[in-house]
Structure 1
């Protein structure tokens, strides 16, 4: 028996040494290259990106149809949304209809930078129910079988105490997260022996890891497929089985990430972005496309413009 165990361990070690991919799982195929992009590129792109929409219902939601892992790459081409915690590029998913809770494991690999995700939970009306940020999704040191990453386990109850059910998830990051960095713990000596790039970097560099505006992350879903019970049925069960219902976060926490209203003060717009909007407004007025011109005005103001309406008036005087 001992001889068999030794042979098995030798074979496993040999396989690991010759095939690093058996040990390292960065998630998306482009994870390593994406997380090596200079973070300043993402910051600048986010700063200049127009706000995509005024309501979370206007995002495109990717439907989750089966349990398992789903890898995402968040880029500067994704929509940017203005939250009370700052503007962020976003990915959005629609949850499946199930009978019980949905477990979600959130993972974001660390290479030379990391995307620090926040998970916003919405009901069927796209209103916030709960939010999971750095208190839940945080740094996890790598081991022989895993890389350094941001990681967190979330369990969405079948129904929250107020009777609402989770229907959508929005993944974002916050201004505060992007201003922070992460200092890595020393690597696992055994992992270093295998020559893994990330661990070699850790050995020879004490540089803090920047948190990015773009990046890669994975959502792993675990649930029992099946049609969901109605919220009313679940609330009735709740009175006799409180232990089955997860305690939601304080309402103030969820609302802190909730959507900013049109009257909420936005970050100052970049001069070149404001000039771009003003030119688009003038072009639309010149073409007598007033609906489009007004649309550009509203979009510019959501992005922080203070001159868009003046640009509209001036364009009307000039061309009509």
Structure 2
């Protein structure tokens, strides 16, 4: 575990975990307040984004005073961050501790126009049971590329949860023998009872963001389709980030230049690359250039 997990464990020891953020005595999960029409809802472009100025740890507190955003996946309290300009890849680690309740996070990645580039969904989380040195928690480790295939760069992160996750609960799995022998109350409860933890609309999420790696995200056609399908489950199509006109025209110009030079295989390769990265005009440009070719 990296230092972000140690920070989360320390937070749990002093009583500030995702399971213990309560902003209403009558509704500690925050679901009643979330369902209220009060202060509902803002758009992704109107979220208050906290600037990230350096690599390191972040603590995202999401409570009933947080902004609400209505997404395809449901209304959620959110926490927004503005990413710094970085080269290569940003390595992101996410930790959400499981206590009396748990906030199950998903993360939207937006471009500079607040259009969705990607979603790190709760299905990317792994459940990690308690041991001698750590508490039960959900964890996610991902990389964020400096530039996506459509030419757009990530600019904002939005932490949220979904209706589907709010309707579920987490069954604590039996702990390891060593954890049980250590005398851990949590480990012994998990071993001897059916312990279901409710999912909450409020909580604390620990993050660590570090920068390094290659510049452009690489993905297959299937990976692109999977990413777009995952986004469609969260935001409507017109909120998804499209390929920059500048990049569309650049690919079209390269296709025409290759055809004029008689390099048809190269032109075909450029067309396929452009389509893979989301160009809506590359094939038409290739066909038109071939028709107009004068050898």
TM-score range, shorter chain: 0.5 to 0.7
| Alpha-carbon distance between aligned partners in 2 of 1:24 and 1:67, rounded to the nearest angstrom | 20
Deviations 1:258-293 (A, max 9, x none): 2699xxxxxxxxxxxxxxxxxxxxxxxxxxxxxxxx
Unaligned runs of 5+ in 2: 1-5, 239-295
Change over 3 Å in CA distance of 1:109–1:170 after alignment to 2: same
Residue of structure 2 equivalent to 1:34: 21
Tell whether 2:65 aligns with 1:77.
yes
Any unmatched runs of 5+ in structure 1? 1-20, 262-320
Q: Does residue 1:151 correspond to 2:139, yes or no?
A: yes
Match of 2:152 among 144, 164, 168: 164
Given the superposition, is the C-alpha separation of residues 192 and 35 from structure 1 closer, same or farther in structure 2, using an over 3 Å criterion? farther
C-alpha distance after superposition, 1:115-168 (max 9, x if no partner): 111111100100001111122024222222221111111111121111111110
Distance 1:115 1:173 in 2: 7
Cα distance 1:168–1:100, how it changes in 2: closer, same or farther (>3 A)? same
Segments of 4+ in structure 1 off by > 3 A? Answer: 21-29, 35-41, 51-54, 192-197
Residue 121 of structure 1, aligned match among 106, 109, 114: 109
Structure 1 residues 159, 122: closer, same or farther in 2, change over 3 A? same
Counterpart for residue 44 of structure 2: 56
Q: CA deviation at 1:42?
A: 1.1
Q: Distance in 1 between matches of 2:132 and 2:236?
A: 41
Q: 1:88 aligns with which of 76, 80, 87?
A: 76
After TM superposition, the score normalised by the length of structure 1 is 0.62
Pairwise CA distance, 1:44: 0.5
Q: TM-score, normalised on structure 2?
A: 0.67
Q: Does 1:131 align with 2:108?
A: no
| Aligned 8 A contact 1:35 1:113 in 2 | no
| Contact 1:25 1:147 (C-alpha < 8 Å) held by counterparts | no
Q: How many aligned positions are there?
A: 226
* Alignment check: 8 A CA contact 2:119 2:227 kept: no
- Residue 317 of structure 1 is matched in structure 2 by none
Q: 1:39: how far off?
A: 6.1
SS in 2 for 1:115: coil
Q: Which residue does 1:252 correspond to in 2?
A: 229
Work out the CA distance in 2 between the residues paired with 1:259 and 1:149: 31
> Which structure dedicates a bigger proportion of its chain to helix?
1
Distance 1:47 1:106 in 2: 26
**Alignment of structure 1 residues 182-261 onto 2, 5 Å:** 182-224=170-212, 242=218, 248=224, 249-258=226-235
Summarize the Cα distance change of 1:75–1:34 in structure 2 as closer, same or farther, 3 Å threshold: same
